[in-house]
Structure 1
Amino acid sequence: MIIATDARTQPDLYCDIVIVGGGAAGVATAVAAARNGMKVVLVERHGFCGGGAVAGHSGTVCGLYEASDDPSSGPVQAVFGFTDEFTKALEARGGLADPVRYGKTFTRVHDPIVWRETADAFLADSNITTIYHAVATRVLNEGGERIEGVELWTKQGPLRVRAKLTVDASGDADLIAMAGLPNTIGDNGRVQNPTMIFRLMGVDVPAFLATYGDDTIMPPSVSEKIVAANKAGTYCLPRAKIWLFPTTRPGELLCNCTRIIGADGRELNPLNWRDFAEAEIEGRKQAREYARFFADTLTGCENSFLNDMAVQVGVRQTRQIDGVQTLRNADILAGQKFSGGIARSPWPIELHSGERPKVEWLLNDVYEIPYGCFVPERGEGLLAAGRCLSAEHEAVASARVTAQCFSYGQAIGHAASIAVRENLAPREINGADLRDVLNRDGARLNG
């Protein structure tokens, strides 16, 4: 019989709140909780924070501004609180570009290195212990469904982090799944495909913008060139509607254009290790092919070259928690508001599947995301934060973006602190009361 062994010692670390995942939501959760006097442990599998925004190279802070049929009037900011605080810190460090057109709204491109450094500065709080290069392997419980922390894999060996409250900010609801709590994967198991975002250097950006305009969603003329190149067989470019963003660096474009599907035609699911590996390999091939096409055919890109790819494929959707409330597709398009709304979003439903991504806009308005979307319908001592919130398939395609993940983290950091300080179950916290706390902390949820 083969027995799995690890002879290294397994020490315990104690804290008030442990957070698994150092993306926008995890960082915001940690900072909000630490400011409330909580002893926090933040666990991140990479050697830096940023999640999809940095490791996945999504590269933009989406979800800050309202959409309008007349974007020529300029950006109208709709999200504040910690989102605003972090973006201003990025900007002060030279790591955030001015707003750029994104269809009917605006977004801002960030420098991923500056993002990491900015997060490090926020996490330097003495109440926060950051553990990089660590992966949660099990949840701790004393029987039943009350979570008491997590077990980690580190290079030093296994480590148990015992906590009064645990936050799943993994993006993939990993802790929810480990605990055996109810969850949902995509649309009956079908998820939105991952993407490999890359950066193109050596671009004559003024010439590029003069030819294709200031909208980062490329015009039909570019899509038509892609379709023609595919038809001629000179390139393999599976997606025709693409996004190209000037960045904070001279001569550079951030390129969101790949469509990664499996050799069998499926939308690959990064929860499956075989799919995840296939996505990485296919993503690199596609990035190289699009870079070749741009250099050969687009004005301003004649001397361009591929200078960077994401650390990993960008993951749009995997697993959602089943929460005490669920954000519905219809809530977004109706601009739904909730008494317990703890975050607001103007971002469209943006489904990156098929040859042409689908975008459904909410104009001159925002919708709200209720607190109950982050509270598991079963299980105690556990909250979620980030894109694994309880939401329908298409709703995730709006609610997952960076500005909102910062907002979720700010809210869940406060909720976790209230639960620990007042010895409450997270489900006992009233969303309307939490909303009041967030407004006092600058969230401006009432507009």
Structure 2
Amino acid sequence: MAGDKAHPFPGWRLGTGAADADGLPVLADVDVLVVGGGAAGVAAATVAAEAGCSVVLVEKYGFCGGAAVAGLSGTICGSYLARENGGPSARVVEGFTGRFRAELLRRGGLTAPQKYGKTYTEAHDPLIWKETADDLLTTAGVRLLLHTSVVGVLLDGDRHLGAVLESNAGRSIVRAARTIDASGDDAVAARAGLATYFGDNGVIQNPTMFFRIAGVDMDRYLGFYGTDTICPPHVTTAIERARDEGLELPRSKIWIFPSTRPGQLLVNATRLSGRDGRMLNVIDPEDFTEAETTGRRQVRDYARFLRRHVPGCENAYVIDTGTEAGIRQTRSIVGIETLTNDDVLSCRKRPDGVVRSPWPIELHTGDRPKLHWLLDDSYEVPYGALVPTGGEHIIVAGRCLSAEHEALASARVTAQCFEYGHAAAAATLLSLEQDVAYRAIDGALVREPMRDNGSLL
């Protein structure tokens, strides 16, 4: 937790009778409520609706995309194997990830694979990401509620019956047979009082503020920086020297990605901590505010550094920052199983594995990110990491899965988040069809429809 602050944010525990007595209008009665319109939520809602379920998707912003768009993280990481020589490698994550990727490519919204150390990633256009999500959800028949937040939960004992929503129209209720918490922060689970935790005994990864610059002479830039998106040693040296100019440049190792647009770069450079040096936990709105104001200030200084010290960037200018700080980690659910650090390091495969990941442990603490590569291999995330130990009729999807600290630093990225949503939807369909609890479902049965939908498991 941030500093000595607590993060209670108690939920509003109402049964259906109490809710009706309170006079709140019932907005919808549906099979599935999905909370959060990031990669996991879009996948979960689309897959469930295409299977014939009635689905409401609630998103607090005026667009879908989550960390990929609001946070401007801007890349689909986690699809490609890592190789020691850094040569071309196989794409080993498909399923809904591959489907969304193909749509971005078709619309001109995704770059060719870009070198990222020993693996590859792809940068996307945030506007085309939004449009792709809009089209998939609309075509599937999802009822999408933008500019809407969850402020409470509907419970009968420990059984989830839906949520209380807040918008400019006031408060209302969505009643749902099943709830998928794809908020990234366990927003529904925490309000219901389910067990959650923050990182390693409260220590979580630093947030960041992504930004984009335009006006870049790409030939000169690439001639100096190179084609690896992780900065070379001479750029790190230049950053460390530029601190003598009074620039606030806390991170020495930065990442820069050419975008789909001519002369534009996506920059991941900032490191956000409190004015007193403490870790910021963006569950706390004061910490969130400090992260974003600090982030915008650091963006200006990193942009000045690029103009002064990186050839090709002399006339570059900032065109935007993230709508919010880039969030790597907040709450995690306590699941019936937990993805362990050893699972990742040993590249463990398992019969109940529902999501594959070849992404390195990418831990953001201190002035340099720490990378541990998984060479020519991948691991699988167990189904039980999405299932809370308490509560009925609720499952999570996205970075709030149950995972140890270093394991989450690998498992949290975009390609995997699409597939967590895919897995949550597949499990939800089984739960509804068989009228069984999520924790009673064998993860091996969740793999089968996922493989039918193209997942490489």
Distance 2:139 2:257 in 1: 34
Number of the residue aligned with 2:212 = 199
Instruction: Tell me how far apart the structure 1 counterparts of residues 195 and 27 of structure 2 sit (CA, whole Å).
Output: 28
The aligned residue for residue 31 of structure 1 is 46
CA displacement 1:357-403 (0-9 Å, x = unmatched): 10001000010001000000111010000000000111111111000
**Runs of 5+ unmatched residues, structure 2:** 1-21
State the Cα distance separating 1:351 from its structure 2 match: 0.7
CA distance in structure 1 between the aligned counterparts of 2:265 and 2:436, rounded to whole angstroms: 48
Matched residues in 2 for 1:126 and 1:348: separation? 34
Question: 1:71 and 1:126, CA in 2 relative to 1: closer, same or farther beyond 3 A?
Answer: closer
The answer on 1:16 being equivalent to 2:31 is yes
| Deviations, residues 401-437 of structure 1 (Å, cap 9, x unaligned) | 0000011111111111111122111111110111122
Residue 293 of structure 1, aligned match among 305, 308, 314: 305
Match of 2:237 among 224, 247, 254: 224
Paired positions, count = 436
Deviation at 1:444, TM superposition (A): 2.1
What is aligned with 2:276? 264
Q: Does 1:210 align with 2:223?
A: yes
TM-score (normalised: structure 2): 0.94
Q: Is the 8 A contact 2:295 2:325 kept in 1?
A: yes
CA distance in 2, matches of 1:261, 1:102: 25
Q: Is the Cα–Cα contact under 8 Å of residues 26 and 175 in structure 2 kept in the other structure?
A: no
- Please tell me whether residue 386 in structure 1 is matched to residue 398 in structure 2: yes
1:101 maps to which residue? 115
> Is the aligned partner of 1:326 residue 2:338?
yes
Question: For the aligned residues, what is the CA RMSD?
Answer: 1.1
**Match of residue 45, structure 1, among 60, 73, 79:** 60
Write the distance in 2 (CA, Å) between the matches of 1:126 and 1:343: 23
**For residues 414 and 394 of structure 1, what CA distance do their matches in structure 2 show?**
27
Q: Distance in 1 between matches of 2:455 and 2:140?
A: 24
The code of the aligned residue for 2:71 comes to G
Q: What's the counterpart of residue 19 of structure 2?
A: none
Distance 1:399 1:110 in 2: 20
Identity over aligned residues, as a percent? 50
SS of aligned partner of 1:123: helix
**Aligned-pair distance for 1:205?**
1.1
Among 50, 70, 91, the alignment partner of 1:55 is 70
Contact 2:46/2:140 (<8 A) preserved: no
1:115 matched to which residue of 2? 129
CA–CA distance in structure 2, aligned partners of residues 272 and 187 of structure 1? 18
Separation (CA, whole Å) in 2 of partners of 1:10 and 1:181: 26
Distance in 1 between the 2:147 and 2:23 partners? 17
CA distance in 2, matches of 1:405, 1:275: 25
Aligned residue for 1:71, secondary structure, equals coil
2:27 and 2:241 map into 1 onto residues whose CA distance is 60
Equivalent residue of 1:412, what SS?
A: helix
TM-score when scaled to structure 1?
Answer: 0.96
1:12 deviates by 3.6
Q: In the alignment, which residue of structure 2 is the partner of 1:173?
A: 186
Structure 1 residue 53 displacement after superposition: 0.2
For structure 1, the 5+ residue unaligned runs are 1-6
Q: Does 1:67 align with 2:75?
A: no
| 2:304 match: secondary structure | helix
